[in-house]
């Protein structure tokens, strides 16, 4: 074994030990393992392409470093391993990915972390960047020149992967569409209620002008309305008691039987600055919303913004 090969081999071992330390021992993993009661396995590859935008790095959060670090930290393996052994890209990436899968499994089974397929893919992307940089950089017999070209190639390829991840993120992330008012809500009899004619009113010295619809109870009795979503959406409504001399009433909203909003006239009397209030919640397709109004409570501009892909 030549002197240069010994140095590269030693660097590879030391760097591998460093990575294993961060994967199994750093960040208080051993202490947290004693308090973990269940295994965590994430098999859905739904976030490996979510990397921070360059503007996000001006005010980074911890997860920004995690996402980028999952790629950058594994670039050296893509350089060092083909430098030591003759291996083609497909075989290298396959063996590397399987090795990461094994380490992720050990992490989960030892309670020293979780199995996350997204981490494995990001790690492999980093190794792929390194492999590509090695192939581009090591084209001459001049050692230092090769190293410099490889470093530059790593930066360029990383930027390319970063850009592709950004494109994938935009293409696979749903965005809120324009507001659409509901045509009506189902009343207890199963009939479609279109509510009352919306009209402007004053509220806490504000001029409120409902634009689409308004619903209230009949004769102050409790009344329940339902709405079933046909697609994934952000459902929203405005609510409040307009008769600010009589705070009798309230509102309850539930989704598939799970209560997500409750408010009473007493809340409005004690905290008038919070009203009129707006409520919105993301709901899945086929979810059933139940809205119960009591007393003088009213809701208006009830509608939704459909979640859709930008290319849809």
Q: Which pLDDT tens digit goes with each residue over 92-101?
A: 999 999 999 9
Q: Evaluate if residue 139 carries a pLDDT over 90.
A: no
Residues β-bridged to residue 239: 277, 299
- pLDDT number for residue 230: 92
**Residue-range domain boundaries for the chain:** 3-172, 177-309
- Whether the full predicted model's pTM is greater than 0.85, yes or no, is no
- pLDDT number for residue 19: 93
**Phi and psi of 301, rounded to 5°?**
50, 50
- pLDDT number for residue 99: 96
pLDDT in tens, 33-80: 666 777 889 888 887 888 877 667 667 676 667 788 899 999 999 999
- Residue 208 tokens, joined: 């409120």
Peptide bond into 162 cis (omega under 30): no
Q: Which residue has the higher pLDDT, 242 or 97?
A: 97
Place of tokens 């079933």: 228
Angle between helices 89-109 and 75-84 (to 10 degrees): 130
Mean pLDDT of the chain: 89
Task: For residue 29, give the 3-state DSSP assignment.
Answer: helix
What CATH number does domain 177-309 carry, 1.10.10, 2.60.120, 2.60.40, 1.20.1640? 2.60.120
């Amino acid at each position: 074994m030549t002197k240069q090969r010994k140095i590269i081999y030693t660097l590879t071992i030391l760097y591998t030990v460093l990575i294993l330390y961060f994967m199994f021992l750093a960040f208080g993993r051993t202490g947290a393992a004693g308090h973990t009661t269940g295994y965590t396995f994430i098999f859905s590859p739904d976030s490996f392409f979510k990397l921070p935008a360059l503007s996000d790095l001006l005010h980074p959060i911890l997860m920004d470093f995690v996402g980028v670090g999952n790629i950058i930290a594994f670039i050296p393996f893509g350089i060092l391993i083909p430098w030591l052994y003759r291996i083609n890209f497909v075989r290298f990436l396959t063996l590397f990915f399987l090795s990461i899968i094994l380490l992720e499994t050990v992490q989960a089974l030892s309670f020293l972390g979780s199995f996350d397929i997204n981490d494995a893919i990001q790690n492999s992307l980093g190794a792929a960047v390194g492999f590509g940089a090695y192939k581009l950089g090591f084209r001459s017999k001049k050692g230092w020149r090769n190293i410099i070209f490889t470093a530059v190639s790593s930066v360029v390829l990383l930027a390319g992967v970063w850009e592709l991840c950004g494109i994938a993120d935009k293409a696979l992330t749903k965005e809120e569409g324009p507001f659409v008012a509901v045509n009506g809500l189902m009343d207890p009899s199963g009939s479609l209620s279109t509510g009352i004619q919306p009209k402007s009113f004053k509220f806490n010295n504000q001029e409120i002008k409902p634009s689409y619809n308004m619903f209230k109870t009949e004769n102050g009795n409790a009344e329940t309305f339902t709405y079933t979503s046909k697609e994934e959406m952000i459902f929203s409504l405005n609510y409040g008691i307009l008769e600010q001399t009589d705070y009798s009433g309230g509102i309850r909203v539930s989704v598939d039987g799970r209560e997500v909003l409750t408010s009473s006239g007493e809340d409005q009397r004690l905290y008038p600055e919070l009203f009129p209030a707006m409520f919105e919640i993301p709901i899945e397709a086929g979810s059933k919303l139940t809205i119960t109004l009591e007393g003088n409570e009213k809701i208006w501009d009830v509608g939704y913004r459909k979640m859709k892909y930008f290319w849809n």
